[in-house]
């Protein structure tokens, strides 16, 4: 790409900015230091919600499909989403959460998890979502590292035929945490909770707050969220993403990889505790004004047809899941998906790990019915969004090959000594030689760890830690 800064500026121009940037990019991979859209002012939630309310407030933003298929589906228009997020934002402020504060979100896959994330962004607080399957020790480590002052949780969660008492896990975690001064608990399963002086019930809090809220003005480089990945030393790494660059890239990748159109229904099966849930349930689809399905359950509950039932029920057009889920469903054979026509599907996607040939073929044949391109997406928590993938129906698709880098992304293959491999057909270490808007800004509270982990191995490159194979066509 000849003019990457001009390219990204043209994409950033499509968003609502309170004040436009005065410099597109300033970067140095040695420090490392990367700043996009310098001195631009915005609030990402105005782009996720408010601008869509003006144009199509009655459009469905979120469809919540519960764990139990007999439980009622919940749907929220963009106008309703705005009110829910505003109420939650007012609850945060009333409980002393302000710009720059860290808030830990430890919730099931319920709509309130999305409301909580957006409410944090609306007030300028930094959210740290912790997967609700993690132990008290893992939760405690993340709360302590982020120095979170609030935990948002629920009494319990439902996953398949299991019930987990989340609030009890929070109690255990907080025995070794000193920074939390408020717990907001959402009453969901109805299980008994032993409350403390730190506790407030969410349903009580929202009764007396307004559904109006003026979003906090943020700088493009202000932190948006911390998301922890497992560290090789045992201590989790808090990957930090910023407001402006992440916004631009989440929207860009969602629209292009999934070839989003106005009336599409997008479904990503990930949990919001992972980066996939951040970028392709919460931020990417909402930035694009899309309708997104949020699923509480698991692929094989009550039986192995659940995914296909949900696709037909909600007329899903793009379906995005992990090879692990595909392989788990393959065990039951092809007869189950064969019973479902799923005519609405246009694109099916894979995320989280390389997909093996057998799973790719089964997915394409029995879910995509041979008519849907498979977007096999490569990216990481640290990249913030998809980096290498086919773009929907555009370009050639080769089983088990992710595809070409997205426009604006400059990957290279390196030898172990750090020399770029220029041959078309080659194998090597995967690195990126030019920043993109949603590149990791730091590891929270330990910038040296960020430098050492991603930027010190090969000078002048972001090193992914992965190896890759490139064919003669650049796939």
Mean pLDDT value of segment 326-355: 97
Domain membership of residue 410 (yes or no) is no
Report whether 65 contacts 294 (CB < 8 A).
Answer: yes
Domain with residue 151: its CATH number is 3.40.50.12780
pLDDT of residue 394: 87
pLDDT of residue 312: 98
Cα–Cα distances (Å) from 43 to 40, 221, 234, in that order, read: 10, 11, 34
Q: What is the pLDDT of residues 210-220, one digit of tens each?
A: 999 999 999 99
Between CA 386 and CA 377 the distance in angstroms is: 6
pLDDT of residue 233: 59
Domain membership of residue 471 (yes or no) is no
Mean pLDDT value of segment 364-373: 96
Q: What's the order of all strands across the beta sheet hosting 426-432?
A: 411-414, 426-432, 462-470
pLDDT category at 2 given cuts 50, 70, 90 is: confident
Grouping H, G, I as helix, E, B as strand and the rest as coil, residue 304 is coil
Per-residue pLDDT at 311 exceeds 90: yes
Query: Helices 166-174 and 136-146, interaxial angle, to 10°?
Result: 60
pLDDT of residue 393: 84
pLDDT of residue 8: 98
Domain membership of residue 98 (yes or no) is yes
- Three-state SS across 168-225? HHHHHHHCCCCCCCEEEEECCCCCCCCCCCCEEEHHHHHHHCCCCCCCCCEECCCEEE
Per-residue pLDDT at 395 exceeds 90: no
* Number of structural domains in the chain: 1
Domain membership of residue 396 (yes or no) is no
Between CA 372 and CA 111 the distance in angstroms is: 29
Domain membership of residue 31 (yes or no) is yes
Domain membership of residue 241 (yes or no) is yes
Cα first-last separation, the chain:
17
Per-residue pLDDT at 231 exceeds 70: no
pLDDT of residue 1: 64
Q: What is the pLDDT of residues 171-221, one digit of tens each?
A: 999 999 999 999 999 999 999 999 999 999 999 999 999 999 999 999 999
User: Which of 231-245, 373-387, 403-417, 429-443 has the least mean pLDDT?
Assistant: 231-245
Per-residue pLDDT at 447 exceeds 70: yes
Report whether 73 contacts 258 (CB < 8 A).
Answer: no
Mean pLDDT value of segment 332-361: 97
pLDDT of residue 232: 55
Q: What is the pLDDT of residues 98-140, one digit of tens each?
A: 999 999 999 999 999 999 999 999 999 999 999 999 999 999 9
Grouping H, G, I as helix, E, B as strand and the rest as coil, residue 112 is helix
pLDDT category at 396 given cuts 50, 70, 90 is: confident
Mean pLDDT rounded to a whole number for the chain: 96
Report whether 215 contacts 45 (CB < 8 A).
Answer: yes
Per-residue pLDDT at 260 exceeds 80: yes
Q: Which domain holds residue 124?
A: 4-298
Domain membership of residue 9 (yes or no) is yes
Give the torsion sign (CA, 445, 448, 449, 450): positive
Q: Among 276, 284, 341, which residue's Cα sits nearest to residue 313?
A: 341
Domain membership of residue 160 (yes or no) is yes
């Amino acid at each position: 790409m000849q003019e990457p800064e001009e390219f990204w500026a043209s994409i950033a121009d499509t968003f609502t900015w309170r004040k436009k940037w005065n410099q597109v990019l300033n970067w140095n991979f040695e420090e490392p230091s990367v700043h996009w859209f310098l001195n631009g002012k915005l609030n990402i939630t105005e782009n996720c919600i408010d601008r869509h309310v003006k144009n199509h407030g009655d459009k469905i933003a979120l469809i919540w499909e519960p764990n139990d298929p007999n439980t009622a589906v919940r749907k929220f228009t963009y106008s309703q989403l705005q009110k829910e997020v505003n109420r939650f934002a007012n609850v945060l402020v009333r409980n002393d959460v302000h710009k720059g504060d860290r808030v830990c979100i430890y919730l099931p896959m319920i709509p309130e998890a999305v409301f909580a994330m957006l409410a944090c962004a609306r007030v300028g607080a930094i959210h740290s979502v912790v997967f609700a399957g993690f132990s008290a020790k893992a939760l405690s480590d993340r709360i302590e590292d982020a120095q979170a002052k609030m935990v948002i949780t629920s009494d319990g969660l439902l996953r398949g035929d299991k019930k987990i008492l989340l609030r009890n896990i929070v109690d255990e975690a907080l025995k070794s945490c000193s920074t939390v001064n408020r717990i907001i608990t959402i009453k969901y399963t109805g299980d008994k909770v032993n409350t403390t002086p730190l506790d407030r019930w969410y349903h009580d809090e929202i009764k007396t707050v307004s559904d109006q809220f003026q979003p906090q003005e943020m700088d493009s480089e202000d932190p948006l969220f911390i998301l922890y990945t497992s560290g090789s030393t045992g201590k989790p790494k808090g990957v930090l993403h910023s407001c402006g660059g992440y916004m631009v890239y989440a929207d860009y990748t969602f629209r292009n990889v999934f070839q989003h159109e106005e009336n599409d229904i997008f479904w990503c099966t990930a949990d919001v505790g992972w980066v996939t849930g951040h970028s392709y349930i919460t931020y990417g689809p909402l930035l694009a004004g899309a309708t997104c399905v949020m699923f509480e359950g698991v692929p094989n509950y009550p039986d192995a047809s659940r995914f296909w039932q949900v696709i037909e029920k909600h007329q899903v057009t793009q379906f995005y899941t992990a090879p692990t889920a595909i392989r788990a469903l393959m065990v039951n054979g092809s007869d189950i998906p064969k019973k479902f026509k799923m005519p609405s599907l246009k694109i099916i996607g894979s995320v989280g790990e390389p997909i093996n040939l057998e799973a790719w073929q089964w997915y394409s044949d029995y879910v995509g019915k041979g008519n849907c391109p498979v977007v096999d997406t490569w990216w990481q928590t640290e990249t913030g969004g998809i980096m290498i993938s086919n773009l929907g129906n555009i370009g050639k698709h080769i089983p088990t090959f992710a595809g070409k880098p997205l426009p604006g992304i400059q990957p290279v293959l390196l030898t172990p000594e750090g020399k770029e491999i220029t041959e078309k057909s080659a194998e090597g270490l995967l690195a990126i030689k030019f920043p993109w808007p949603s590149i990791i800004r730091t590891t929270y509270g330990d910038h040296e760890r960020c430098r050492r982990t991603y930027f010190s191995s090969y000078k002048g490159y972001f090193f992914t830690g992965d190896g890759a194979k490139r064919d003669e066509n650049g796939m």
